[in-house]
Amino acid sequence: MDSVITVIVGLIQVLVILALAPLLTGIIRKTKARTQKRIGASILQPYYDLLKLVRKDEVISDQTSWIFRACPWINFTTMTTAAFFIPVFLAYTPFGLVGDLILVIGLFALGRFFTMLAGLDVASSFGGLGSSREMMISSLLEPALFLSIFVVAITYGGTNLSTLISASSNSSFLPHPQILFAAIGLFIIILGETGRLPFDNPATHLELTMVHETMILEYSGKSLALMEWSQSIKQIILFTLMINIFVPWGISSSILLSTLVIGFLTFIGKISLFGIFVAFLESSVAKWRLFRIPDLIAIAIATSMIGIVLCYL
């Protein structure tokens, strides 16, 4: 009986992620608009966009193959599957035994793999440009991400997210100074992975600056909706990971309605705050030149490496 409830809670966590993903995007956009002295669209605007897009007819390039068409579905499926392994307001998830953090990264990579292919499939130079930049950024982010995970996993005893977040929620990070370094590293990486400034400007359509947008430039209708949605899911998953690993305060460690509700509310609060923080940060920096981005990633790698040394000393 317990396990059934656990599974149900786990599924609820997945649904929460799916449902809240556009909201997070909305919050960030709204905050950014406010910082730029604009009123901005409603924070629910992403939901309206998705609904509108899903109902629209599609235009598909005649150069494309099935890969282009399959890509949104694959992206959405992988992101959603990744969501299964993420503890959101409960410190563990019943699917923790099925896959770990590395699998989550793998699923992200699978989605990105197809996105890059789709970018190439349209035979325009935009797509190639986006894929080319994404290739560079993602291949550099991968080791940085792994190193920061290395720190976290060794500190909290596992890449299994249930173990990891349970352990982090039970301990203060004061005895683990390395966690701070990992947090810096992971934060930079998350900015890169989600395509935020200074890596990428999600709001621009200028070929000099854009990365992710170029790859999905040819999408329209429900394909575009799926692509946008999965991007927000990825974003919320990464943000959730960040807050649950480094600021696990208030997360429920058992299946009690009360703690779950507290957990959920603190989660909403933390993630919104985090989103607002990111939005403020984005407003204060400019997009970096493409070839300066490796410098940023190098900082992430360096901090993670210091973290590793601290782990063992």
Partner 1 sequence: MISNLILFQIPILLFVIGALSGLLSRNSRLARPMIFVPSMIGSIFTIVFSIGIITGTQLKLVIPHILPLFDLEIFVDGISAFFMLIIGLVSFAVSLYSIGYSKEYEIQKRISAFGFLFNIFILSMILVVSSNNSFFFLIFWELMSLVSFFLVIYDHDKEENLKSGMTYLVMTHLGTAFIFTSFVLGYVQTGSFSFDSFRHGSTGFPLLVKNLVFVFAFIGFGTKAGMVPLHVWLPKAHPSAPSNVSALMSAVMIKIGIYGMIRTIFDFSGFGASPDFAWWGMLLVSIGSASAIIGVLYAVVERDIKRALAFSSIENIGIILVGLGLSVVFTSFHLTAFAVLALVASMYHTINHAVFKGLLFMGAGSVVSVTHTKNIEHLGGLVKQMPWTSLLFLIGAISISGLPPFNGFISEWFTLQALLSSYHIPSTILQISIAFASLPFALTIGIAAATFVKLFGMTFLSKTRSKNIVNIKEVPRSMILGMSILAAVCVLFGVVPYLGTSLISTAFHMSFQQSSPLDFISVQNSSGKSFANLSIPVVVIILSSVSIAIFGFIRVLSGHTKKTTYSTWDCGFGSLNERMEYTPTSLSQPIRAVFKVFFKPHNQTEKESFGENPYLLKTVKVETMIKNIFEEMLYTPIVSSFVFFFDKVRKLQTGKINAYLLYIMITLVLLLLFVRLSNNG
- DSSP string spanning 9-27? HHHHHHHHHHHHHHHHHHH
Between 20 and 226, name the residue whose CB sits nearer to partner 1.
Answer: 226
Between 27 and 107, name the residue whose CB sits nearer to partner 1.
Answer: 107
SS3 (DSSP) at 150: helix
Measured in whole angstroms, the distance separating CA 241 from the mean position of its chain's CA atoms is 8
Residue 153 sits in the site that holds partner 1 (CB under 8 A): yes
Measured in whole angstroms, the distance separating CA 46 from the mean position of its chain's CA atoms is 16
Among 33, 41, 120, 268, binds partner 1 (CB under 8 A): 120
Among 8, 135, 261, 286, binds partner 1 (CB under 8 A): 135
Beta-carbon contacts of 19 under 8 Å, excluding residues fewer than 6 positions away, are none
Whole-angstrom distance, CA of residue 303 vs CA of residue 305: 5
- Helices 221-246 + 178-193 axis angle, to 10: 170
- Tokens in use for 104? 């989550």
Contact 130, 210 (CB under 8 A): yes
Residue 146 sits in the site that holds partner 1 (CB under 8 A): yes
Residue 160 sits in the site that holds partner 1 (CB under 8 A): yes
Residue 133 sits in the site that holds partner 1 (CB under 8 A): yes
Residue 177 sits in the site that holds partner 1 (CB under 8 A): no
Contact 192, 242 (CB under 8 A): no
Residue 127 sits in the site that holds partner 1 (CB under 8 A): yes
Footprint on residues 4-63 left by partner 1 (CB under 8 A)? 51, 54-63
- Each residue 200-229 as x (binds partner 1 by CB under 8 A) or -, in order, gives -----------------xx--xx--xx---
Residue 84 sits in the site that holds partner 1 (CB under 8 A): yes
Between 229 and 274, name the residue whose CB sits nearer to partner 1.
Answer: 229
* Window of 1-9, 35-43, 137-145, 172-180 that interacts with partner 1 by CB under 8 A: 137-145
How close are the terminal C-alpha atoms of the chain, in Å?
Answer: 45
Residue 124 sits in the site that holds partner 1 (CB under 8 A): yes
Residue 123 sits in the site that holds partner 1 (CB under 8 A): yes
Q: Which residues pair with 252 in a beta bridge?
A: 90
* Window of 38-46, 77-85, 246-254, 272-280 that interacts with partner 1 by CB under 8 A: 77-85
